[in-house]
Amino acid sequence: MKRIPLKSDQRLTIAIVILGFLLSGLSAWHAEQNAKRADYQRFLTLSERIHGEISRRIRQFEYGLRGARSLFPASDQVTRASFSAMVKDRNLNKEFHGALGLGFVRYVPRAKIDEFLTKTRADGAPDFAIHPAGAESDLYVVEYIIPEDINRVAMGYNMATESRRREAAERAMRTGAAALSAPLTLLQRVNEGSGFIMFYPVYEKGKSQATEEDRVRHIIGWTYMPLVARNILAGVTSQAEEQLDFEVFDGSVASRENLIYDDDGHLSKTQDLVFTENDYAQRLFHLKTNLSIGGETWTICCSTNKSFKRVARTDVSFYLLGGSVVTLLLAGTVRSISRSNERAQELAEKMTSELATTAKKAEMLSMVATRSTNAVVICDKERRITWVNEGFTRVTGYEFDEVIGKKLGAFLQSEHSDPETIEEIRRFCDAGAPYQCEILNRTKSGRDYWVHCDIIPLLNAQQEITGFMSIQLDVTERRRADELLKEQVERTELALAAGELALWDWNVATGETLFDKRWAAMFGEDVENLRSHVDEWINRCHPDDLPIAQAALQQHFEGKTEIYQCRHRMRHKDGTWRWVMARGKVVSFGPNGEPLRVVGTQRDVTRQYIEQLEIERQSSALIHTGKIARVGAWELNLIDNSLYWSDQIRLIHEVDQDYVPTLESALNFYPDEAKETISQALQHAIETGEPFEVEMPLVTAKGRRIWVRSMGETFRVDGKVHLVKGAFQDITEMHQQKMDLEAAKIAAEKATQAKADFLANMSHEIRTPMNAVIGMSELLQNTSLNAEQADFVNVIRNSGETLLSLINDILDFSKIEFGGVQLEHIPIDLRECVESSIDFVARPAAEKGLELLVLFEPDAPTTIYGDKTRMTQVITNLLSNAVKFTDKGEIFVRVSQSENDLLHISVSDTGIGIPANRLDRLFKSFSQVDTSTTRQYGGTGLGLAICSRLVKVMQGSIWVDSVEGKGSTFHIEIPFQFAPPLVEAKISLDSQLARGKRVLIIDDNPKNRQIHSIQTQGWGLVPVTVDTAEEALLRLANGEAFDLAVLDLQRTWQSVEELAAKIRQSKGAELLPIIALTSLRDAANYRSRLHVSKILTKPVKSSHFYEAILQALHIKESKNKSLASSTLDQKLAHEHPLTILLVEDTPINQRVAQLLLAKLGYTAEVAENGVEALAALEKKTYDVVFMDVQMPEMDGIVCTRTIAQKYPLLDRPWIIAMTANAQEGDSEACIEAGMDDYLSKPISAKAIANALVRASEELRKRKKGI
């Protein structure tokens, strides 16, 4: 085919188009490079901000540790409380964001572990323990860590047992500076990724730290902070306007193992173990820098993200579009006027001018290569250097002038360069082919480095090689990472094994799952026996936990959690359930963001989980605490006299939160007296170093008066107090409660005193006439009386004493409320106690027509050790209650010995009974079944309460059985001890004449028949009981012989006289003695018209029944006198001669006392009050003075004190107090006033006799000086 040559104007047009487009492209490229350079410069600025912010944040922790360290030299002793107060004064979250707390690690030599534990447990941590103990010679133990709630697991941790913690602590100890540990897992945050610990050493106060040896010798511990990497570094990108991403690596190698923090997580999504340039291929710029802090080196990789704002590209568009338009217009113009030489010439000149301008711009393109971070070399075709950029100089150290005209291999290659690679470079260059390789070069300074080399041949228009361009990238770090990769993989395997971590790898799409041998061993399996599918995990997971684990996975898939983490149970081969902690992360996503691959670890945490449950169980009691009192902290700096208040103190003072206090303004809140108190306390603390605590009033800024407690403690530096710290608490409510309690106490004491005074007055007013009643009856007993008169006098005496016992027990009830009563322990006759109680209720029972029955079972004890008065009081109360609530029927007292060898006394009645729902009220003070009971029957409701309390004092029990409408039975059971029989109370038939005598007992009441049968059997008689008169007469008619008949007249016999006559008419019974039993009200009537041997009134005392039998059988009792008079010993005055003065204001009591003394053979002179007593002592010397306590004009207490002051001991009479008071401490008050003995009214002859014997003996000793 024939080639057609172009015309000259066509060639010109084509040339213009080509040259125009070329110049437009070059200009646009040059503008783009300028924009990129501006973008890069801005990127560097933002990167420096990130670098600086990270450095600032880390150093902030160092400053905090330095501040905490100052507490130790400033104080002689740092306690848990003072350390806690210091930390709580700081806002940890605000000042040290990312720190979990601030603590102190104590250096503990192993030989001093016990001493350390003792001291620490005494300092507010009784449960403190070291864990683990380890085998190292020294322990680094966490002694304090605040706040304690989130750091509890770290308390007592021995950091010396873990290499990274120990290395950092020892680095700080040896250098004296802050030290940061390598990345580690914090005990408090095992699930929150990388953490660190920063240490700052604390040395002994005043010791040298000049050399490393000094610092090691004098170390006492470290202040420290546990730090969480992601909390520290979160938000750093705000310093770069959120336009950059950054990662932080430990050390200088950017590997997955060393990754500390990935801000946007883009590296975490890859599968690379070592990160290279390819991982930043999608980023416009990236930069690696190193940060050295706390002895650790971090690599910080910054890169742009999608938000990075680039410089506007308007120049680029202008050059491309504008140049193209101009070129096309120019070419069209040339084409249209191609035949005009003049116009062509002009156009040529114009084009030449424009091309010259564009060429100048092109010269600037070389700046691109000049400013490149990579090394760029241009060689001629002989491979000699014609140009190098600045990057080449930075990488190799060679300047342009040193290398121009030289070949690269002549000065860059060394003996370590690979010869085969060098030869291959030559071969490709000779062939004019591009070539890529990696080769080891050597810098001018002699440092070997690896480069990735791109060699590009340069061709001219004729496609001839004119030279070569080599672009070299320093890949030393990447090569080093490759070399370390194997070692790192092995190290990772060892770390997983040491951490007991098992690996799993799950293909989400297919379900295929790989488990390592540790995962299999965790469940007692061999890895070969496991199915490589996710179903293996699903089938082993506990059915209750599977939904929880799947939900946690789903949250991670949706991007709601950074990692998948779940603690759940899985089945072991042996069927048991093991708790595991599973963690994982999606490492590969599909085109729509769906997860494709998840890789994770799993650890058996069964033991830790069980321990955690135990810890939670033990500490559960501490979770529920009361509301914390209003309390704040204050600090007074004596160096600059500044005062710090916490926010809570400002609230207490009711001032604004921006209020700045001074010492003077703070003191002005106190009233004058309180201001003086706090000033003196503060001054004393500063001078002595002693802590203080004061409570005082304070007036708030709003004028409200409150009460506060202020506590302070001093801190010294070089022996001088420089700082005072303390707490401040609003105790207004507490103070008010205290005042109310004090007021209530005073009121209660006044009420108690008033009650005691009332009881004393009541006792005095009652005992005074009772003294006359009992005293006169006692005197009457010593006169000649017949049996009936003696019995009446005994009833009066016993009733008086019982009434006195009632009064005493009511007073004792009050004593019980004040603190209890004392029981006597003397032999008592139970039969006498019961019968005297029966006497007390006999008349009201007779008036109601009630029959009183008493049964002593054969096994019942009769003489025991106890308190006769108290025992009688209990029985009397129970009988009084029974009579009160019984309108007809009987009351039955039964005395026996229970199966468990306790004294059992029961009182049964046929009264109204008690509803079951009211039984619980019976033994309460001043309580009856209901209010209607009080209205109908009267009473205070105190009787059963007295019984209950007295029985309790006797160590016994009391209870009731009752059926409403049928009656009640009250029971008491009391432990007892047998006592020797009382001779005067002995009842027995010693005469052989009485034994075997037959007694006919006629009574229709089975209980009475039982009682009389038991009594007579006990006396040696043979009882025969019948319940009807007909049966009695039939037995007599049948010839049965009887020696005695006992007839109950209270039964419904048709004619008592006729029955008695018929008995006497029976054969052999003409002279049969008959003892008749009747009620008290019918006794006189029967005595006038019934002729029998003896009529006894019921209830019949055993002694009376016994005497009646003796009389009826005409048997004289030679050894016992049941009714013998109790004569007084009138020889007493002869044996103990004494002159006596009686000081008594009441005439009746004067007479009683004189008569009782007279019976003892004494005469007494009388003074009616204390004034007369003193006058009598002036006139005559007396041996004994009976001194009444309450008298007009001058009472016994004042009189006694006057005597004690006036007369020396040898000239002073023996003073015996006589009082009717019942007030607690009355006897003590008498003795304290100077009295020598004490008698309580009503007084008895026996009590007087005993007192006079004591007085005589003591006066004899006093005169002999004994």
User: Is 608 among the domain residues?
Assistant: yes
753-758 LR contacts (CB < 8 Å, sep 24+): 755/814, 756/814, 756/1223, 756/1224, 757/1223
Task: Give yes or no: residues 1176 and 1226 share one domain.
Answer: yes
Residue 1186 sits in a domain of what CATH number? 3.40.50.2300
Which strand ranges, in their side-by-side order, compose the sheet holding 296-304?
A: 259-262, 244-250, 296-304, 286-293
| pLDDT tens, residue by residue, 865-891 | 988 888 988 998 899 889 988 999 999
Residue where a domain stops, chosen among 184, 211, 233: 233
pLDDT class for 581, splitting at 50, 70, 90?
very high
Ranges 669-683, 913-927, 969-983: which has the least confidence: 913-927
Give the span between the Cα atoms of 1266 and 1260, in whole angstroms.
Answer: 9
Cβ within 8 Å of residue 1148, ≥6 positions away: 768, 769, 771, 772
8 Å CB contact between 859 and 813 = no
303-308 LR contacts (CB < 8 Å, sep 24+): 303/244, 303/245, 303/246, 304/43, 304/243, 304/244, 304/245, 305/242, 305/243, 305/244, 305/245, 305/264, 307/241, 307/242, 307/243, 308/39, 308/43, 308/243, 308/244, 308/284
Q: Phi and psi of 320, rounded to 5°?
A: -70, -50
Dihedral sign computed on CA atoms, order 1095, 1098, 1102, 1104 = negative
Conformation bin of residue 710: beta by default, left when phi > 0, alpha when psi is -120 to 50: beta
| pLDDT tens, residue by residue, 914-961 | 887 777 777 765 444 444 444 444 444 567 888 888 898 889 999 999
User: Is 390 among the domain residues?
Assistant: yes
Output DSSP code: residue 377: E
Q: What is the dihedral of CA 503, 508, 509, 512, to 10 degrees?
A: 30
Residue where a domain stops, chosen among 233, 260, 295: 233
Cβ within 8 Å of residue 130, ≥6 positions away: 113, 117, 139, 141, 156, 158
Give the span between the Cα atoms of 666 and 660, in whole angstroms.
Answer: 10
Strand partners, 551: none
What is the per-residue DSSP string for 42-58?
HHHHHHHHHHHHHHHHH
User: Is 1026 among the domain residues?
Assistant: yes
User: Is 334 among the domain residues?
Assistant: yes
Q: What's the pLDDT at 627?
A: 37
Task: Give yes or no: residues 1005 and 1102 share one domain.
Answer: yes
Task: Give yes or no: residues 611 and 664 share one domain.
Answer: no
Give the span between the Cα atoms of 255 and 1084, in whole angstroms.
Answer: 126
Q: What is the dihedral of CA 689, 695, 699, 705, to 10 degrees?
A: 170
Task: Give yes or no: residues 222 and 248 share one domain.
Answer: no
Task: Give yes or no: residues 1179 and 1245 share one domain.
Answer: yes
Task: Give yes or no: residues 354 and 382 share one domain.
Answer: no
pLDDT at position 555 over 60: yes
What is the per-residue DSSP string for 748-808?
HHHHHHHHHHHHHHHHHHHHHHHHHHHHHHHHHHTS---HHHHHHHHHHHHHHHHHHHHHH
Task: Give yes or no: residues 378 and 332 share one domain.
Answer: no
Q: What's the pLDDT at 325?
A: 52
Q: Which two tokens stand for residue 412?
A: 């860059």
Residue 644 sits in a domain of what CATH number? 3.30.450.20
User: Is 746 among the domain residues?
Assistant: no
Strands 448-459 and 564-571: unpaired
Q: What's the pLDDT at 609?
A: 86
Helix axes 830-847, 868-884, angle to 10 degrees: 20
Q: Phi and psi of 441, rounded to 5°?
A: -110, 175
Give the span between the Cα atoms of 970 and 257, in whole angstroms.
Answer: 88
Average pLDDT of every residue of the chain: 82
User: Is 551 among the domain residues?
Assistant: yes
User: Is 820 among the domain residues?
Assistant: no
pLDDT at position 348 over 60: no
Task: Give yes or no: residues 319 and 431 share one domain.
Answer: no
43 compared with 614, residue with greater pLDDT: 43
Task: Give yes or no: residues 343 and 277 share one domain.
Answer: no
Across residues 390-400, what is the average pLDDT? 88
Residue 174 sits in a domain of what CATH number? 3.30.450.350
| pLDDT tens, residue by residue, 812-836 | 666 656 555 677 788 888 988 898 8
Instruction: Work out the percent of the chain whose per-residue pLDDT is above 70.
Output: 82
Task: Give yes or no: residues 195 and 74 share one domain.
Answer: yes
Instruction: Work out the percent of the chain whose per-residue pLDDT is above 90.
Output: 29
Q: What's the pLDDT at 301?
A: 93
Task: Give yes or no: residues 1062 and 1000 share one domain.
Answer: yes
Give the span between the Cα atoms of 122 and 128, in whole angstroms.
Answer: 10
Q: What's the pLDDT at 181?
A: 94
Conformation bin of residue 383: beta by default, left when phi > 0, alpha when psi is -120 to 50: left
Give the span between the Cα atoms of 268 and 262, in whole angstroms.
Answer: 7
Task: Give yes or no: residues 16 and 120 share one domain.
Answer: no
Q: What distances in angstroms separate CA 612 from CA 151, 580, 618, 620, 680, one per listed residue? A: 14, 14, 10, 12, 50
End-to-end, the C-alpha distance of the chain in Å comes to 168
SS3 344: helix
Residue where a domain stops, chosen among 1104, 1124, 1144: 1124
User: Is 857 among the domain residues?
Assistant: no
Helix axes 732-781, 1147-1159, angle to 10 degrees: 50
8 Å CB contact between 319 and 24 = yes
Q: Which domain holds residue 288?
A: 243-304
Instruction: Indicate the number of domains in the chain.
Output: 8
